[in-house]
């Protein structure tokens, strides 16, 4: 059985994560407003500009919730000279290894049922954090888009996945379907 101490630890991390998100929401919203206004993008090629963007793609790292984004044009090519990394002060901090900490609390690793229960609890914990983070980020994005009257289609997902959330509709869309919608050869361009 998962110990009370392990449950408390996971609740503590969840509460801290949610508080961190709430405190950083104004900074994230402000940064998104700036990128939707064309700031923070770098174009060394004078034939490329923010005005050519038909979609903004953003993704986050599963482990530390760092976020990056890039623009795509009507041909599916990347715009700009680099991917934008969202500033750390805009995003919640999470650098705990919950699995190791829970096992460090003396869970009985030799009992298969208990080990499965710990894994299930850890999976549920991370799934909950990711769901919360995705909704929080989407809400910040929608507020920023409203504040800037942006109609730029935007997609958001965890890194290395085959679908992204359309932030206008909050619906999951497969990468191939997104590419087809814009007439791109492929979602992923080399």
The per-residue pLDDT for 190 is: 53
- Specify the DSSP element, H or E, that contains 135: helix 112-148
pLDDT surpassing 90 at residue 3: no
Q: How large a percentage of the chain has pLDDT more than 90? A: 66
The per-residue pLDDT for 111 is: 55
The per-residue pLDDT for 122 is: 83
- Dihedral sign for Cα 129, 132, 137, 138, please: positive
| Distance in angstroms (rounded) separating the CA atoms of residues 150 and 50 | 12
Tally of CA atoms within 13 A in the half-sphere of 84 that contains its CB:
22
The per-residue pLDDT for 97 is: 77
- Segments in the chain forming alpha helices (H): 4-36, 98-104, 112-148, 175-182
The per-residue pLDDT for 81 is: 78
| Distance in angstroms (rounded) separating the CA atoms of residues 176 and 118 | 36
DSSP state letter for 68: E
- Dihedral sign for Cα 16, 17, 20, 26, please: negative
Identify the top-confidence range among 71-80, 122-131, 165-174: 165-174
The per-residue pLDDT for 106 is: 55
Q: Each residue of 45-83: pLDDT tens digit? A: 888 999 999 999 999 998 889 999 999 999 998 898 778
- Dihedral sign for Cα 142, 147, 148, 150, please: positive
Tell me if 1 sits within 8 A of 118, measured CB to CB. Answer: no
pLDDT surpassing 70 at residue 163: yes
pLDDT surpassing 90 at residue 104: no
* Pairing mode of beta strands 55-60, 67-72: antiparallel
pTM: 0.88
The two three-digit tokens of residue 122, written as one number: 């850890």
Residue owning tokens 């805009």: 90
């Amino acid at each position: 059985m998962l110990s009370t101490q392990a449950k408390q630890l996971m609740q503590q991390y969840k509460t801290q994560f949610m508080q961190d998100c709430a405190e950083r929401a104004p900074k994230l919203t402000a940064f998104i407003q700036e990128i939707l206004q064309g700031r923070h993008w770098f174009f060394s090629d004078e034939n490329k500009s923010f005005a050519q963007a038909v979609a903004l793609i953003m993704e986050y790292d599963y482990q530390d919730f760092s976020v990056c984004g890039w623009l795509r044009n009507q041909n599916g090519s990347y715009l700009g000279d680099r991917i934008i990394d969202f500033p750390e002060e805009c995003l919640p901090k999470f650098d705990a290894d919950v699995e190791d900490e829970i096992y460090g609390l003396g869970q009985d690793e030799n009992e298969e049922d208990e080990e499965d229960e710990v894994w299930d609890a850890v999976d549920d914990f991370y799934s909950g954090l990711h769901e919360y983070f995705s909704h929080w980020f989407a809400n910040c994005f929608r507020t920023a888009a409203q504040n800037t009257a942006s109609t730029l289609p935007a997609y958001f997902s965890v890194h290395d996945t085959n679908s992204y959330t359309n932030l206008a509709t909050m619906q999951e869309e497969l990468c191939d379907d997104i590419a087809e919608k814009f007439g791109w050869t492929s979602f992923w361009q080399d």
